[in-house]
Amino acid sequence: MAVFTLNVNGKRYEVDVDPATPMLWVLRDHLNLVGTKYGCGIAQCGACTIHLDDVAVRSCMLPVSQVGNRRITTIEGLSANGDHPLQRAWLEHDVPQCGYCQAGQIMNAAALLKANPNPTDEEIEAAMHGNLCRCGTYTRIKAAIKSVVKG
Amino acid sequence: MTIVKTKYGRRSFIKTTVLAGGGMLLGFSWLAGCKPAGSRGEAALELPDEWFEINGFIKIGDNGVVTIMSPNPEIGQNVKTSMPMIVAEELDVDWARVVVEQAPLNTEIFTRQLAGGSQSIRQGWHSLRMAGATARHMLRQAAANAWGVPFDEVTTEMGLLKHEASGRTAHYGEFASAAARLPVPEEVQLKDPKEFRIIGTSRKNVDGQKIVTGQPLFGLDYRRDGMLIAMAVHAPAFGMKLKSVDDRAARSMPGIVDVFPIKTYADDYERQWCDTDAFNEKVVVVGRSTWEVMQARKALRIEWEPAAPLESTDGHRVAMDVLAARKARVVRRDGDPEAMFAKAARIIERTYTAPFLAHNTMEPMNFFAHVTDERAELVGPTQTPEFMEKSLAARLGLPLEKIDIQMTRQGGGFGRRLYGHFMVEAALISKQVGAPVKLIYTREDDMTFGNYRPAYRATYRAALDEAGNLLAFHVRAGGIPESPLFPDRFPAGAVDHYLAEVWSADSNISVGAWRAPRSNFIAGAEQAFLDELAEAMGKDPIDLRLELLARAAARPVGDHNDYDPERYAGVLKLVREKSGWGQPLPQGVGRGVAAYYCHNSYVAQVVDLRVEKGKPIIEKVCCAVDCGIVVNPDAAVNMVEGGTVDGIGHALYSELTFTNGAPDQTNFDRYRLIRHGEAPKAIEVHFVESDEHPTGLGEPPLPPVMGALANAIYRATGKRVYHQPFIKELRSQLPG
């Protein structure tokens, strides 16, 4: 066990955990931020996507000991009032079916748009490849992303 | 307007005990939503000081805000929005002033709290309308009494009561307390569908805001003070059982509270259909955090031993080849098919297969339980709360009324959560450790402990005369461990000489309902065969189907045909029109069609695709759907899109194989699910306009698209695919 100081959604937290604990479980079990989802544990589904600084990472494979002083953003902190353009677009397109994967989808898409505000269809598909949706909402996800792409 | 008898007695309308102050204050549960339906940017609704329960579905606040209980499990099929819409319609309220709350299991008030068979809307339709209409009636009566005017002169509009002659108006909240005290009327008026102003209009997902902001909604998100985390380790292979456990290392690991074996169901217990559990003995690890439990289970030294044959996919293939070659059990015979095949000028015979599939809900199995000597409280994702309550009562030795089940939003179902062994496990663990517990399956636990879609195989044969006319039709279909065949479905009823046979092979691999059970294979096989048949007969594939359906409508063969040929033809005609069927396509694009009827709804799909280096690129899918009245159109479109993607994905990419009883795919690194770039570029959905009572949509869009996909692949490549996952056959066709 070791104490780690974390910057999550602009707030400072201290957690005393096994250094190998993935950020996913630190967020869910220790910080009670459960918007970040567990789906596979091996970085194959994208449900656990968070931002480390501005980059999308799979929190299920990110040990807390490797975070250092980088900023962590989760779906709860993506916007102050739940009104990030992608969150609004997701509602406008009524994207979710079961909804379980959608926080990861939004976080992944948000990082894409931050790095590349004007992606092509192919770039969107490539960037979103790692995010599974078992309900099959892919066409709506793409439409929602495209609706906020600056053209 | 339709007048109908209410069928509710007191049981259905538990009246709240009226307090001295008038009405009963009802608190919100943990699961309650406190925001208006589909809110974004709108201010949160001001909650009332008091709620008055009019009936089990409806609470009305003193300020006119309405809470509607959604009775059925929400697994992504959108019933948490669409079912309350039906209540709101007949109640005649402003949807913007409705709060939706997930109802707990309550068999005193609700019927069929089940997510399965695409039946929630169809079977709920009447009771939901009645709940709304009855409450509206009681509100009108309360106003009529207070105003001293005839009942018939009190009208409603969007949550307001009106008496036109005197100009009096009031909102529902003003009469909710009085209405709650009135007797339940013996008959009520239902709206004419032409008067609908909520049903048939698109309303956003009531949980949308919570989903996109990551609020706690799902079973895995549930927590309680003092709650422990548990995992249950099952045998690594079907056919194995527990021999011994050495838990010394695991017990000493940080955060671990207890390690013990459990037996989910008692040996002498007569299991219900939803009690499927191939791994009855498990080793449980309980601890303070998920990661600590995950680490400790790795330190367990467990010996498992074979107790039954350890099956492999290769062995399954051999067994299926043998059984498929034999005469099988005849389940339908019309005319004299054998004689027709004997005299046929040409016989077409094709065989189709598909592998086992895992459900792979994105949220793995999990459940919260808090069990004491007196009662059991369970919270989480289940499709069968009412059935599982009985299993829990039997296992815990508690009466039904001491078992409380609350449903969270569920991260997918697809049939997997019909089988609730994990609820019993959670309850047993909580009882053993004397604390509230959340049981979590890892992805590997979930994928290797499926109640899988069975492996199937079907052989179709058609007899043609010299002129290419269809003389007879024969299907022999089987699987491990069940046949996929529905003998009374199309084209039965459309062919004079018809033979259907079934076979099956036993297995100890557990199977269960997987989105559109049996249809999820047989539709694709049958629809691909019809495509080849049309080609052999020199007919357009849609024309052939329409000719057969016209025959079934005019002079049906047999009298047990399980479809309405006119509605079936209706979706084919609609998809023909909307897809631009028959028009030229860009170079390299192939177009295939299929149509199917299941779960009381009709779906036809046209797929346009290209194949580049063995990789299909789906340009477009055009869908035509007849599910009667469409309650929530945009959400219905979403469901059809999802079923289409799901069907294409599984037919193209997914399979679960076994070696010595163990699944070869244990996580998404080896189990292929369709991904973003593989989804259709466009999906169009068209509904047949209808006044028929609504029917299901969760399952019907999935089965036919598998056939349309196979047919499109043929048109694009000149090669037929017969064996799912099709991607393997496509790759094997690549040169070099």
| Residue-level pLDDT at B38 | 41
Instruction: Look at residues B144, B174, B203 and tell me which one is the last residue of a structural domain.
Output: B203
Share of chain B above pLDDT 90, in %: 90
Residue B31 has pLDDT above 50, yes or no: no
| Residue-level pLDDT at B682 | 98
**Mean pLDDT of all residues in B488-508:** 97
Residue A138 is nearest to which of B223, B414, B645, comparing CB atoms?
B645
CATH for A85-148 is 1.10.150.120
d(CA B462, CA B531): 12
Place of tokens 């909102």: B171
C-beta atoms of B213 and A87 within 8 A: yes
For residue range B262-299, what is the model confidence (pLDDT) as tens digits? Answer: 999 999 999 999 999 999 999 999 999 999 999 999 99
Report which of residues B4 and B181 the model is more confident about.
B181
B128 with B242, same domain: the answer is no
For residue A66, how many other CB atoms are within 10 A of its CB?
14
| Residue-level pLDDT at B735 | 73
**Mean pLDDT of all residues in A61-78:** 98
DSSP letter assigned to residue A19: T
Total domains, chain B:
3
For residue range B159-204, what is the model confidence (pLDDT) as tens digits? Answer: 999 999 999 999 999 999 999 999 999 999 999 999 999 999 999 9
Question: Considering only CA atoms, which of B571, B604, B581, B565 is closest in space to residue B690?
Answer: B571
C-beta atoms of A94 and B675 within 8 A: no
Residue A88 is nearest to which of B40, B223, B361, comparing CB atoms?
B40
B21 with B163, same domain: the answer is yes
Domain ranges of chain A: 2-77, 85-148
Report which of residues B33 and B385 the model is more confident about.
B385
B225 with B155, same domain: the answer is no
B419 with B462, same domain: the answer is no
B257 with B323, same domain: the answer is no
Determine the Cα angle at B532 with ends B531 and B536, to 5°. 120
| Residue-level pLDDT at B1 | 52
The reply to whether ipTM tops 0.85 is: yes
**Mean pLDDT of all residues in B402-410:** 98
Residue B6 has pLDDT above 60, yes or no: no
Are A100 and A77 within 8 A, CB to CB?
A: no
B6 with B30, same domain: the answer is yes
| Residue-level pLDDT at B215 | 97
**Domain boundaries, position B274:** 219-308+410-440
Residue A126, SS3?
helix
Token pair for B432: 């053993």
Asked if residue B211 is part of any domain, the answer here is no
C-beta atoms of A98 and B409 within 8 A: yes
Confidence of residue B45 (pLDDT cuts 50, 70, 90): confident
Instruction: Look at residues B203, B229, B261 and tell me which one is the last residue of a structural domain.
Output: B203
Are B101 and B32 within 8 A, CB to CB?
A: yes
Say whether the peptide bond before residue B700 is cis (omega within 30 degrees of 0): no
B293 with B321, same domain: the answer is no
d(CA B495, CA B548): 7
| Residue-level pLDDT at B548 | 98
The two beta strands, B66-70 and B98-102, are parallel
B556 with B647, same domain: the answer is yes
C-beta atoms of A102 and B41 within 8 A: no
B62 with B159, same domain: the answer is yes
| Residue-level pLDDT at B108 | 87
Asked if residue B185 is part of any domain, the answer here is yes
Same fold across A2-77 and A85-148: no
C-beta atoms of B645 and A102 within 8 A: no
Token pair for B350: 């094709």
Q: Which of B80, B118, B212 to probe the A interface (max A CBs under 10 A)?
A: B212
Asked if residue B544 is part of any domain, the answer here is yes
DSSP letter assigned to residue B252: T
Instruction: Report DSSP letters for B16-43, one per residue.
Output: PPPPTTSS------TT---S-TT-SSSP
Residue B11 has pLDDT above 80, yes or no: no
B170 with B199, same domain: the answer is yes
For residue range B61-115, what is the model confidence (pLDDT) as tens digits? Answer: 999 999 999 999 999 999 999 999 999 999 999 999 999 999 999 988 888 899 9
Measured CA to CA in angstroms, residue B345 lies from B342, B466, B536 at distances of 9, 5, 12
Confidence of residue A49 (pLDDT cuts 50, 70, 90): very high
For residue range A95-148, what is the model confidence (pLDDT) as tens digits? Answer: 999 999 999 999 999 999 999 999 999 999 999 999 999 999 999 999 999 999
Residue B4 has pLDDT above 70, yes or no: no
d(CA B509, CA B257): 33
| Residue-level pLDDT at B473 | 98
Instruction: Please name the residues in contact with B401: beta carbons below 8 A apart, sequence gap of 6 or more.
Output: none
B418 with B461, same domain: the answer is no
Residues in chain B closer than 8 A to A32 (CB atoms): 223
Residue type, B661: G
3-state secondary structure string, B120-149? HHHHHHHHHHHHHHHHHHHHHHHHHHHHCC
Token pair for B333: 């015979």
Instruction: Report DSSP letters for B525-567, one per residue.
Output: HHHHHHHHHHHHHT--HHHHHHHHHHHHHHS-SSS---S-HHH
Q: Does B671 touch chain A (CB under 8 A)?
A: no
C-beta atoms of B220 and A22 within 8 A: no
Are A91 and B204 within 8 A, CB to CB?
A: yes
What CA dihedral angle connects B57, B62, B63 and B67, to 10 degrees? -10
| Residue B282's CATH number | 3.90.1170.50
With CA atoms as reference, the chain B residue closest to A138 would be B676
C-beta atoms of B291 and A38 within 8 A: no
Q: Does B436 touch chain A (CB under 8 A)?
A: no
For residue range B114-158, what is the model confidence (pLDDT) as tens digits? Answer: 999 989 899 899 999 999 999 999 999 999 999 999 999 999 999
Residue B530 has pLDDT above 50, yes or no: yes
Are B213 and B421 within 8 A, CB to CB?
A: no
Asked if residue B446 is part of any domain, the answer here is no
- Topology annotation, domain A2-77: Ubiquitin-like (UB roll) (3.10.20)
Instruction: Look at residues B170, B203, B236 and tell me which one is the last residue of a structural domain.
Output: B203
C-beta atoms of B411 and A99 within 8 A: yes
Asked if residue B321 is part of any domain, the answer here is yes
User: Among the listed ranges B10-24, B467-481, B646-660, B671-685, which one has the minimum average pLDDT value?
Assistant: B10-24
| Residue-level pLDDT at B25 | 30
With CA atoms as reference, the chain B residue closest to A81 would be B213
Residue A87 is nearest to which of B212, B254, B683, comparing CB atoms?
B212
Alpha-carbon dihedral sign for residues A15, A18, A20, A21: negative
Q: Which residue pairs from B315-323 have beta carbons closer than 8 angstroms and sit at least 24 positions apart in sequence?
A: B316/B455, B316/B480, B316/B505, B316/B507, B316/B658, B319/B480, B319/B505, B320/B353, B320/B455, B320/B457, B320/B478, B320/B479, B320/B480, B320/B505, B323/B478, B323/B503, B323/B504, B323/B505
Q: Which of A98, A112, A140 to probe the B interface (max B CBs under 10 A)?
A: A98
